Amino acid sequence: MYPSPIVSGQQAREYTPGILDHAIAEWRSALGPEAVITNETDLARAGLCTFSIRRTVPVILKPADRAQVQHIMRIANHYGVPVYPVGSGKNWGYGSGVPSVSGCALLDLSRMTRIVDFSEELAYVTVEPGVTQRQLMDFLTARHSKLWMDATGASPDCSLIGNTLERGFGHTPYSDHFGHCGNLEVVLPSGECVHTGFGRIPGASTAPVYKYGVGPYIDGLFTQSNFGVVTCMTIWLMPAPEYMQAFFFRCDDEDGLTRLVDALRPLRLNGTLQSAVHIGNGYKVLSGLRQYPWELTGGKTPLQPDQLRQLSRSMNFGYWNGSGALYGTRAQVAEARRMLKKALKGNVTRVQFLDEGLLRVASSFAKPLGWLTGWDLTKTLELVKPLFGLLRGQPTAEPIKSAFWRKRTEGKADADPDTEGCGLLWCSHTAPIRGEDARIMMEITERITLAHGFEPIVSITLLTERTLCSVVSISYDRSIEGEDKRAMECYHQLMAALLAAGYPPYRLGAQAGYSVPAEEGFRNLMQTIKDRIDPKNILAPSHYVR
Amino acid sequence: MYPSPIVSGQQAREYTPGILDHAIAEWRSALGPEAVITNETDLARAGLCTFSIRRTVPVILKPADRAQVQHIMRIANHYGVPVYPVGSGKNWGYGSGVPSVSGCALLDLSRMTRIVDFSEELAYVTVEPGVTQRQLMDFLTARHSKLWMDATGASPDCSLIGNTLERGFGHTPYSDHFGHCGNLEVVLPSGECVHTGFGRIPGASTAPVYKYGVGPYIDGLFTQSNFGVVTCMTIWLMPAPEYMQAFFFRCDDEDGLTRLVDALRPLRLNGTLQSAVHIGNGYKVLSGLRQYPWELTGGKTPLQPDQLRQLSRSMNFGYWNGSGALYGTRAQVAEARRMLKKALKGNVTRVQFLDEGLLRVASSFAKPLGWLTGWDLTKTLELVKPLFGLLRGQPTAEPIKSAFWRKRTEGKADADPDTEGCGLLWCSHTAPIRGEDARIMMEITERITLAHGFEPIVSITLLTERTLCSVVSISYDRSIEGEDKRAMECYHQLMAALLAAGYPPYRLGAQAGYSVPAEEGFRNLMQTIKDRIDPKNILAPSHYVR
């Protein structure tokens, strides 16, 4: 169905014949037969993602609770069979749920869906790894909670813990997911259980509310690594502000990015902008509004800058298109708006503000929308509504439709990009929030993607007070001969060029493995820890750490 | 001069005869003779702190740079001589600069005072461990920088890195020191050097601005631990806000704490209060205003609650006394002030606001101060000015004067509590920000301290959005027979009682060692890491990790 893998980077695990059968038999007796899956269809599905890396998955294990995870790890250790944990397997663009090496048992934690603890007063929730964005949203809604979660633009069925451990980000003031969690319960490769922060002190009332605990703060060890399986975590929730106002701006000047980034930096630094502002280029907006304009290009790819310009004029979006939100009391938001307007003055073509009331009106009357964003009227609401929701932490399935950008079939919100042959590779690199850095990143990105026949679909996010992140979507159609290979080459060239220019990635996909350059000292230290806590290298081999 | 140690907890290191001399000789030839100190006076001083733990320090090593630190560690490893690193040794109340066990070479990093990197634009500074609060303050002032540092209430000569590694806190919105740092350079016990975050990727422009890097985030491993010597660190600075307004409130109702804490929680959670609000009890304020009132008590201790009441009436302070500040534009501060007033209404006796302009006026005219805080006029300014400075990140030597509370000699700001026989033990426990928890903590604290003959000198800090910290000062006179012993007993009882009630400490002093209860899994994991990266246990043995 799909081409075979062309980039492996990691070696498949080889077993002594018969070993795997023994392990599976033991897992069956430990978990019950229905929790140990070996049918061909499911196994084939488990090895698929949105690009050309495929792994052989010999068995899927679906534990019901932490004790079963511990059991699984002990058996895995005994037989030396590697195990790769996933929450929901929806790590789209970075390898979905595909194990880091072939031969791994897939440890599917999606049955562990307990919400273990919740406090409206102290604004936190403690969850297991199967709890998805949707489940938490429903939970909060059912309780009429005044707390907001933070959602990524990935699937509503994405695991909260999974995203947090990859240090993913969202769109509210709690966008730094790892920055807003603690109290981890971790099963080590040995099967031993460790609690972090104050969770390690019996009866500590501050376990769910204080991050660091006492003694070494070790939570970070379990992010972007293969040192343990996190089976429970406390996630902090944000008290809903009295008022939220989204803003949208556009800048039609191709060279406007430099000034825009420099103008926004002081506001991000001083906290006027509390959340991660996004600046999408025209390609990014277009891929959100519609699929590839085959008719305009006569079937040719990539979409050239002048063709994009034509579409942006007719569909009314800018060369750069920003969005974000202001949070607080009405007076706080008004003051932030004043400062934002002042900063943007002269740097954007227009800026519009949108609150819930206005959105409600807009939803009733399609026509008044014209002045709202200046974008294509029929499509605007479709794009704005889920984005507005994300800005207040509501997960949405909409953005994933853009994975169908180059497909000839239409992408639906409940579609599965893994099985529909969508090609999607995300390349997420960081730079200081400085216009000149943003400009250089864009220049590199445009040059390399277009040269490989792909559009530079880019969203620049002011991720933290000092750091921006450029997320490049290499979006293609896997059913077209040769595209898998070209996309992967494009990814690796882009990665190498951005790294060489001083812009390292904040996160890696399954295609990258542990391939980021690093000084020997750091590598040795990680290897030392890995060797000691996982001597048989059975947990997610090569996932960030060899 | 002082009683000999009564609580050891840790075992002194014993050497094969002659080994130490060999090590010292090698250190001499590596560092030069002036950097290796063995005179009796300095060694005796190095073993002193503000309570009854004394360690034998056989040698003090003063490296000039990271390469020398690496050299020191290699030699230490070769001979198996333990080494205890300090930045400035000003960890007052927690053991000053006294090594964790007797027999450690004191690795005094105070000569490493380079400010390696600084960016006004991106608001950070990169420093070595000898850089003190004062040095950074002077550096920023000399550059007319628009950036603020965050200062602890400890000495201006306190090491920035030292405080951050103990996860200390200050008074501005950047009060969480560990939360605002990254890019560590660490010398491991082996002498190998490791860079964390993006510092490990050559040429990464985001090394000083992005905390987590890619792959495992390991900075926390080097805080409150003994896994490495941090020789360089980037510290983020806060852009000076347009306006700051300090607030002071008092509550004369003994039972008012519960309501007060519950009233402030929503404001801390929603970010109206961006910094760590402090609530001091009457004892705390009194110990800041003056020394022990021997005349009133006829020489007896402790000061009884009714005596305190008498003093609070005459000196005009409350049973509970709060302080903090609001930051932003004038409009943002006005809105925050409105919300704060609303929350405090009915919960405090009075609330006053103070800005720089008013403070300048107040400094010129002593009299108008009466209405400002209602406190003793002549003393008010003395207390308020340094506190106001702390709220904007200016270090001050004033608070340490309170270490002389029970002394018959007067404490001066440049005094050295270690050598003047001041007794000071800090006991810093956490609770969720809930009135009921604060009340229980206070009840336990008052009962135990008074029973041991000490005043419950307490400052309750709203440390994070969800966690408060009660810092109890056990303040006494070491020259009085038996006080050392009683103070240490008081400390251990208080620690045990607060732990048992569910309130663990956020930080430990040299007197506590690794004595906090913890599940076996966590202890094993830490031991596993320690054994592997420091097999001879030569770096700060027993400092949080055995």
Would you say the ipTM is above 0.90? yes
Inter-residue long-range contacts of B66-69, CB under 8 Å, 24+ positions, other chains counted: B66/B112, B66/B185, B66/B187, B66/B193, B66/B231, B66/B232, B68/B30, B68/B31, B68/B35, B69/B107, B69/B109, B69/B112, B69/B187, B69/B229, B69/B231
Would you state the pLDDT for residue B439?
Answer: 98
Mean pLDDT of the residues in chain B: 92
User: Which run of H or E residues covers position A496?
Assistant: helix A483-500
Q: Which of B241, B526, B529 sits opposite A270 (nearest CB)?
A: B241
**Per-domain boundaries in chain B:** 115-239, 243-500
Mean pLDDT in residue range B483-507 = 96
Would you state the pLDDT for residue B516?
Answer: 75
Q: Which of A167, A200, A502 sits opposite B205 (nearest CB)?
A: A502
Mutation target vs A (from B200, B273, B426, B533; most A CBs, 10 A cutoff): B200
B202 touches chain A (CB under 8 A): yes
Mutation target vs A (from B466, B469, B544; most A CBs, 10 A cutoff): B466
B341 touches chain A (CB under 8 A): no
pLDDT band, very low/low/confident/very high, at A3 (cuts 50, 70, 90): very low
> Do β-strands B181-187 and B229-236 pair in parallel, antiparallel, or remain unpaired?
antiparallel
**What whole-number percentage of chain B has pLDDT above 90?**
82
Q: Which of B192, B329, B339 sits opposite A521 (nearest CB)?
A: B192
Strands, E assignment, B282-433: 320-328, 350-354, 422-432
Would you state the pLDDT for residue B7?
Answer: 34
Would you state the pLDDT for residue B6?
Answer: 32
Would you state the pLDDT for residue A316?
Answer: 87
* In the predicted structure, residue A8 carries a pLDDT above the cut 50: no
Q: Which two tokens stand for residue B70?
A: 């690496």
pLDDT band, very low/low/confident/very high, at A301 (cuts 50, 70, 90): very high
Would you state the pLDDT for residue B368?
Answer: 47
Residue whose structure tokens are 């007052």:
B92
pTM listed for this prediction: 0.95
Closest CA to A273 of A216, A179, A190, A344: A344
Whether cis (ω within 30° of 0) applies to the bond prior to A63 is no
Q: Return all residues near B528 (Cβ < 8 A) that are at least 6 apart.
A: A532, A533
| DSSP state at residue B5 | P
B198 touches chain A (CB under 8 A): yes
Would you state the pLDDT for residue A6?
Answer: 32
Q: Using one digit for the tens of pLDDT, what is the confidence trace for B78-122?
A: 999 999 999 998 888 999 999 999 999 999 999 999 999 999 999
Q: Using one digit for the tens of pLDDT, what is the confidence trace for B163-216?
A: 999 999 999 999 999 999 999 999 999 999 999 999 999 999 999 999 999 999
pLDDT band, very low/low/confident/very high, at B428 (cuts 50, 70, 90): very high
The residue with greater pLDDT, A237 or B91, is A237
Q: Return all residues near B25 (Cβ < 8 A) that are at least 6 apart.
A: none
A41 vs chain B: nearest CA distance in angstroms? 33
B200 touches chain A (CB under 8 A): yes
Would you state the pLDDT for residue B14?
Answer: 75
A89 vs chain B: nearest CA distance in angstroms? 19
Chain B residues 471-510 within an 8 A CB cutoff of chain A? 499-500, 502-508
Position A272, amino acid: T
pLDDT band, very low/low/confident/very high, at A84 (cuts 50, 70, 90): very high
* In the predicted structure, residue A166 carries a pLDDT above the cut 70: yes
Chain B residues 106-125 within an 8 A CB cutoff of chain A? 121-124
Q: Which two tokens stand for residue B415?
A: 């005094």
B196 touches chain A (CB under 8 A): yes
Q: Using one digit for the tens of pLDDT, what is the confidence trace for A352-390?
A: 999 999 888 877 765 544 555 554 455 667 778 889 999
Asked whether the beta carbons of residue A205 and residue B432 sit closer than 8 angstroms, the reply is yes
3-state secondary structure B356-368: HHHHHHHHHCCHH
Would you state the pLDDT for residue A367?
Answer: 52
Q: Using one digit for the tens of pLDDT, what is the confidence trace for B119-170?
A: 999 999 999 999 999 999 999 999 999 999 999 988 899 999 999 999 999 9
A129 vs chain B: nearest CA distance in angstroms? 19
B440 touches chain A (CB under 8 A): no
B431 touches chain A (CB under 8 A): yes
Asked whether the beta carbons of residue B193 and residue A521 sit closer than 8 angstroms, the reply is yes
Let me know how long chain A is. 546
* In the predicted structure, residue A306 carries a pLDDT above the cut 80: yes
Would you state the pLDDT for residue A4?
Answer: 31
Would you state the pLDDT for residue B517?
Answer: 75
Chain A residues 143-182 within an 8 A CB cutoff of chain B? 167, 173, 178
For every residue of A122-190, DSSP letters joined together read TTEEEE-TT-BHHHHHHHHHHTT-SEE----SS-TTSBHHHHHHTT-B-SSTT-BTGGGEEEEEEE-TT
Q: In CATH, which of 3.40.50.720, 3.40.50.450, 3.40.50.150, 3.40.462.10 is domain B243-500?
A: 3.40.462.10
A466 touches chain B (CB under 8 A): yes
Q: How many CB atoms lie within 10 A of CB B313?
A: 10
Chain B residues touching A503 at Cβ < 8 A = 204-206
A205 vs chain B: nearest CA distance in angstroms? 5
Q: Which of A328, A339, A533 sits opposite B528 (nearest CB)?
A: A533
* In the predicted structure, residue B76 carries a pLDDT above the cut 50: yes
Q: Which two tokens stand for residue A252?
A: 């039609």
Strands, E assignment, B16-69: 36-37, 60-61
Chain B residue closest to A205 (CA)?
Answer: B502
Chain A residues touching B221 at Cβ < 8 A = 216-218, 220-221
B434 touches chain A (CB under 8 A): yes
Mean pLDDT in residue range B277-300 = 94
B67 touches chain A (CB under 8 A): no
Asked whether the beta carbons of residue B236 and residue A465 sit closer than 8 angstroms, the reply is yes
Q: Which of A196, A214, A332 sits opposite B224 (nearest CB)?
A: A214
Helix or strand or coil: residue B94?
Answer: coil
B12 touches chain A (CB under 8 A): no
* In the predicted structure, residue A514 carries a pLDDT above the cut 90: no
pLDDT band, very low/low/confident/very high, at B9 (cuts 50, 70, 90): very low
B523 vs chain A: nearest CA distance in angstroms? 9
A266 touches chain B (CB under 8 A): yes
Q: How far is CA B530 from CA A222, A519, B167, B525, in A?
A: 17, 21, 20, 9
Position B193, amino acid: C
Would you state the pLDDT for residue A2?
Answer: 31
**What whole-number percentage of chain A has pLDDT above 70?**
95
Would you state the pLDDT for residue B457?
Answer: 97
Would you state the pLDDT for residue B5?
Answer: 31
Asked whether the beta carbons of residue A431 and residue B205 sit closer than 8 angstroms, the reply is yes
B236 touches chain A (CB under 8 A): yes
Would you state the pLDDT for residue A15?
Answer: 75
Mean pLDDT of the residues in chain A: 92
Would you state the pLDDT for residue A11?
Answer: 66
* In the predicted structure, residue B294 carries a pLDDT above the cut 60: yes
CATH architecture of the domain with residue range A115-239: 2-Layer Sandwich (3.30)
* In the predicted structure, residue B367 carries a pLDDT above the cut 60: no
Q: Using one digit for the tens of pLDDT, what is the confidence trace for A317-348?
A: 999 999 999 999 999 999 999 999 999 999 99
Let me know how long chain B is. 546
Number of A/B CB contacts below 8 angstroms equals: 273
**What whole-number percentage of chain B has pLDDT above 70?**
95
Chain A residues touching B196 at Cβ < 8 A = 522
Q: How far is CA B259 from CA A192, B253, B254, B434, in A?
A: 43, 10, 11, 9
